[in-house]
Amino acid sequence: MTRNTFIRLRNFVLLSLVQVLIFSQIHLFGYATAYIYIIFILKLPRHTTRNELLIWSFLFGLTVDIFCNTPGINAAAATVVGFVRNHVLAAFTQKGIADDFIPGARSLQWGRYIVYSLICTSIFFTVLFLLEMFTVTSPLMLLTGVLSSTLLTMLFVTVIEFFSHAR
């Protein structure tokens, strides 16, 4: 348990650094930004309790917010993902399996893992862009932002999963 917590904290710090120092600096075409820290939420074990999920997501979102000068926006979006994640995951878990597992290409198969990540990511970006564009509500801009960022993030999620899977 302590070892798991330690690994989780290490991942937390590493992912925040990578997110804040590299990925948050990239704005492809002016609106697409990859928020790869969502992997942290995606990869929490299946039997993580809802409260735990919520708190981890919120903290991670808040950390990114602090560095990106967007107080509350990432925190809110990540909290929403943390809230729905278990429901989404349940839909992609084969019935009859009671074991705890870490969602991934190995445990879920590639197709299901990608769809699962895609749903979570698109929920995340929908909330994120809705909050970000609180005042400027241009539906087209919202849509392009959500779609492009989701695709970009999914690209990185898949690539990272591919390499951790191959190992």
Partner 1 sequence: MQTILNFLIRHNHWFLFALLMGISFVLIVSFNNYQNAVFFTSANRVAGNLFSMVTDVESYFGLQGENETLKEHNRLLIEELDRTRNELAALQDSASLEKHANAVNNGFYYTTARVVNNSLNRIDNYITIDKGLSDGVDSEMGVFNDKGVVGIVYQSSENYSIVIPLLNSKSNINCRIKGSDSFCALQWDGSDTRYSYLVDLPRYSAFEMGDTVVTSGFSSIFPADLPVGRICNLEDAEDGLFYRAKVELFVDFSAVTTLFVVGNDGKHEQSQLENSIGKR
Binding interface with partner 1 (CB under 8 A): 20-21, 49-51, 54-55, 58, 61-62, 65-69, 71-73, 75-76, 79-80, 83, 131, 134
Closer CB to partner 1, residue 32 or residue 54? 54
Residue 103 in contact with residue 25, Cβ under 8 Å? no
**Shortest approach of partner 1 to residue 158 CB, angstroms?**
28
Closer CB to partner 1, residue 12 or residue 83? 83
**Shortest approach of partner 1 to residue 86 CB, angstroms?**
9
**Shortest approach of partner 1 to residue 51 CB, angstroms?**
5
**Shortest approach of partner 1 to residue 128 CB, angstroms?**
11
Rg of the chain (C-alpha set): 15
The encoded tokens of residue 138 equal 């241009």
As a whole number of angstroms, the distance between CA 123 and CA 29 comes to 21
Can you name the residues that pair with 28 across neighbouring β-strands? 32
Q: Closest Cα to residue 115, out of 103, 127, 98? A: 103
